[in-house]
């Protein structure tokens, strides 16, 4: 079979639909992941021994297992264990929330702990409650250090969505595979799929680069 690049044009609408699903999972999943990660990271940085231990176990379990196993567990094991059945799309989003949350927790913890203890003490010493020290002093400083590693995690999570092919979510990779199964145009389709991922990660990188510049991180 000869390589015919024009054939891609026929499948662009379908691929865009797949990419939309990818973006949907990524955006909603990361939104949840950032919230979960911020909570778990703050638990690690500021919690007492028990709270710290809870967050620690969560983070280590997730970082120590492959995301595919986590997805399989959510989709196939959870219904057996707890009779909770969730649809593939929800499973996919939940998997990103839980998985990204663990990595983001470590990012948040690292950023918070990188802010000198002296600044926290200076804040406390003028009579601020601890939450105000976190919100007004440590938070804004930690946030600047957060952006680069956070951006990295966003890109990783975006690409991780391709793994949801295993539970049949119609995201970009799955779409590519379905098209290919019908016409065997491997070179054209996988090139197109790769380029679409590159466009998405590229836009994300660019946006992050702009935020970093704005915040004078570099």
Partner 1 sequence: MNDAIIQFRNVSKHFGPLKVLDEVDLDIHKGEVVVLVGPSGSGKSTLLRCINGLEQITGGDLIVNGMSVLGGNKVMREIRQEAGMVFQQFNLFPQMTALQNVAFGPQQVRGLSRSDARELAKELLAKVGLAEKANHEPSELSGGQQQRVAIARALAIKPKVMLFDEPTSALDPELKQEVLNVMRALAGEGMTMVVVTHEMGFAKQVGTRLIFMEHGKIAVDGTPRDVIDNPPNDRMKDFLQHV
Per CB under 8 A, residues contacting partner 1 are 116, 118-119, 121-129, 132, 136-137, 140-141
Using CB atoms within 10 A of its CB, is residue 71 exposed (0-12), middle (13-18) or buried (19+)? buried
Give the shortest CB-218-to-partner 1 separation in angstroms: 16
Give the shortest CB-67-to-partner 1 separation in angstroms: 36
Give the shortest CB-114-to-partner 1 separation in angstroms: 13
Separation of alpha carbons 193 and 27, rounded Å: 19
Phi, psi of 65 (to 5 degrees): -130, 150
**Among residues 76 and 131, whose Cβ is nearest to partner 1?**
131
Give the shortest CB-208-to-partner 1 separation in angstroms: 20
**Among residues 48 and 83, whose Cβ is nearest to partner 1?**
48
The residue to which tokens 């000869």 are assigned: 2
**Among residues 35 and 135, whose Cβ is nearest to partner 1?**
135
**Among residues 7 and 128, whose Cβ is nearest to partner 1?**
128
- Which candidate, 22, 63, 24, places its Cα nearest to that of 193? 22
- Is the alpha carbon torsion for 31, 35, 40, 44 positive or negative? positive
């Amino acid at each position: 079979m000869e390589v015919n690049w024009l054939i891609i044009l026929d499948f662009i609408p379908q691929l865009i639909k797949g990419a939309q699903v990818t973006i949907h999972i990524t955006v909603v999943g990361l939104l949840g992941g950032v919230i979960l990660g911020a909570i778990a990271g703050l638990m690690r940085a500021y919690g007492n021994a028990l709270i710290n231990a809870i967050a620690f176990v969560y983070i280590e379990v997730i970082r120590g297992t492959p995301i595919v196993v986590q997805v399989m567990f959510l989709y196939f094991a959870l219904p057996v264990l707890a009779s909770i059945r969730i649809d593939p799309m929800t499973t996919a989003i939940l998997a990103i929330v839980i998985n990204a949350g663990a990595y983001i927790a470590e990012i948040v913890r690292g950023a918070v702990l990188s802010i000198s203890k002296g600044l926290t003490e200076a804040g406390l010493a003028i009579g601020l409650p601890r939450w105000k020290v976190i919100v007004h002093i440590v938070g804004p400083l930690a946030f600047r250090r957060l952006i680069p590693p956070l951006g990295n995690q966003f890109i990783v999570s975006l690409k991780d969505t391709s793994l949801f092919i295993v539970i049949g979510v119609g995201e970009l990779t799955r779409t590519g595979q379905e098209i290919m199964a019908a016409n065997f145009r491997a070179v054209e389709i996988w090139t197109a799929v790769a380029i679409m991922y590159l466009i998405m990660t590229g836009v994300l990188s660019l946006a992050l680069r702009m935020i970093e510049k704005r915040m004078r991180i570099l």
